[in-house]
Chain A
Amino acid sequence: MTSNSNLSSMRRTVEQLKLEASVERIKVSQAAAELQQYCLQNAGKDALLVGVPTGSNPFREPRSCAVV
């Protein structure tokens, strides 16, 4: 019966909302600080951010001179 399935669907919705409401939340200031810290700590390893020297870029053909 549609009314029964609507009811059980609504019961599930309420149970789900209770679960989501119970999440422990930290302050935005702490969350933002940690995201920032992660970015800054790993910036040096981030090739797309800091660039790759030609010699160590696996996707670039090395231009080398052969000593004949």
Chain B
Amino acid sequence: MGEMEQLRKEADALKDQITAARKAVQDTTLEEAAAGVAVVGRVQMKTRKTLRGHLAKIYAMHWATDSKLCVSASQDGKLIVWDSITTNKVNAIPLKSSWVMTCAYAPSGNLVACGGLDNMCSIYNLKGKDGNVKVMRELAAHTGYLSCCRFISDTEIITSSGDCTCILWDIETGTQKTSFAGHQGDCMSLAVSPDFSYFISGACDFTAKLWDIRDGNCRQTFAGHESDINAIGFFPNGQAVITGSDDATCKLYDLRADQELITYQDSSIMCGVTSLAPSLSGRLILAGYDDFNVNIWDSLKAERVGALAGHDNRVSCIGVSADGMACCTGSWDSFLKIWN
């Protein structure tokens, strides 16, 4: 038997081994385990603020860690930093490339980043000496669009790309520290674990992968979705991963049981999930869909317990502030809304 044939057999055997090992620990389901918990009562939130100012579709937003400021990116070629309480624009940063798809706020509050069809991640210093916000670094190496970026610190950022890889960058030198390859389709989204030691990526190969930031290895791969994964997030305790897909479902995968625990779906929902965010306790999952709505799910019972209706076009991004006080939605209708 040739080596190729041998390797193929070995791969198939390993896949069967993983399937069996997952089944061996499946002594119950989340549904059964949570049977004694009552479904959350109807969740009703109101729009408290509308952030107006962008002139085109909003593609991304990210809260600052102070739960007050947030940054949004629009294909009008601007990054806007907002004070969500006063609705004032703190910064309006013109971009070299208007084809922006993602933005991020550094945990320190000093930097913001964005990128898109220019295949680059541009870092901006908000706290420059003369008060002007300027490009600090342009991180170029990806051979495909930048779909998502998240800061680890002021010196490190992780990016995901349409070139099927993710990269950990050293911002000071502008160079790649680690490349994370393995996905067989465009990487669409990433999220960093609360302790900053892992990150997860969702891709167009319908899988989510857990990566060790320091050693560059993919530790676990989660399959089950039947289409592209567009959105991904960590459950707040860092032990589980939530994904949102074009297959109209969201799924929760537990990292330590190494398997899917539950699917959030409803026969009346037939459009893709674009974005998602868990509430502070993880009990609620807010998911944005192509049909302009946000559905709110009880994460333990997989029941829809509410909806946010108010945008006139697709909800492209959603984020819950760090203190859990509010949820922000961004839409192709060019507005951001703050809800609680």
- How far, in whole Å, are A1 and B15 apart by their CA atoms in the complex? 28
- A14 CB to closest chain B CB (Å) equals 5
B22 and A43: CB pair below 8 A?
A: no
B256 and A26: CB pair below 8 A?
A: yes
B279 and A46: CB pair below 8 A?
A: yes
Q: With CB as the reference atom, state the residue of chain A lying closest to B256.
A: A26
- How far, in whole Å, are A45 and B321 apart by their CA atoms in the complex? 13
B34 and A17: CB pair below 8 A?
A: no
- How far, in whole Å, are A21 and B217 apart by their CA atoms in the complex? 14
Interface residues of B in 1-19 (CB under 8 A from A): 3-4, 7-8, 10-11, 14-15, 17-18
- How far, in whole Å, are A29 and B258 apart by their CA atoms in the complex? 13
A48 and B45: CB pair below 8 A?
A: yes
- A56 CB to closest chain B CB (Å) equals 9
B283 and A19: CB pair below 8 A?
A: no
Task: Report the stretch among B24-32, B95-103, B149-157 that lies at the interface.
Answer: B24-32
B25 and A28: CB pair below 8 A?
A: yes
- In the complex, A36 has a CB within 8 A of chain B: yes
Chain B: interface residue total (CB-CB under 8 A): 64
Interface residues of A in 28-61 (CB under 8 A from B): 28-36, 38-43, 45-49, 52, 57-60
- How far, in whole Å, are A65 and B283 apart by their CA atoms in the complex? 37
- A23 CB to closest chain B CB (Å) equals 5
A28 and B281: CB pair below 8 A?
A: no
> Main SS of chain A's interface residues?
helix
Residues of B within 8 A of A13 (CB): 7, 11
- How far, in whole Å, are A18 and B275 apart by their CA atoms in the complex? 32
- In the complex, B221 has a CB within 8 A of chain A: yes
Candidate in A29, A39, A42 with the most chain B CB atoms within 10 angstroms:
A39
Interface residue range, chain A? 35 or more
A11 and B7: CB pair below 8 A?
A: yes
> Which of A27, A28, A42, A59 contacts B325, CB < 8 Å?
A59
- In the complex, A25 has a CB within 8 A of chain B: yes
A49 and B283: CB pair below 8 A?
A: yes
Candidate in A21, A35, A49 with the most chain B CB atoms within 10 angstroms:
A35
Known contacts A23-B258, A48-B324: does B84 contact A59 (CB below 8 Å)? Answer: yes
- In the complex, B259 has a CB within 8 A of chain A: yes
- How far, in whole Å, are A36 and B221 apart by their CA atoms in the complex? 24
A16 and B182: CB pair below 8 A?
A: yes
> Which of B7, B284, B325 contacts A7, CB < 8 Å?
B7
Known contacts A10-B11, A28-B26, A36-B33: does B85 contact A45 (CB below 8 Å)? Answer: no
Question: Contacts A28-B261, A57-B340 given; 19 further ones with Cβ under 8 A?
Answer: A6-B4, A17-B18, A18-B14, A20-B218, A23-B258, A25-B22, A31-B257, A32-B29, A35-B30, A36-B34, A39-B300, A42-B236, A46-B279, A46-B280, A48-B43, A48-B325, A49-B43, A59-B48, A59-B84
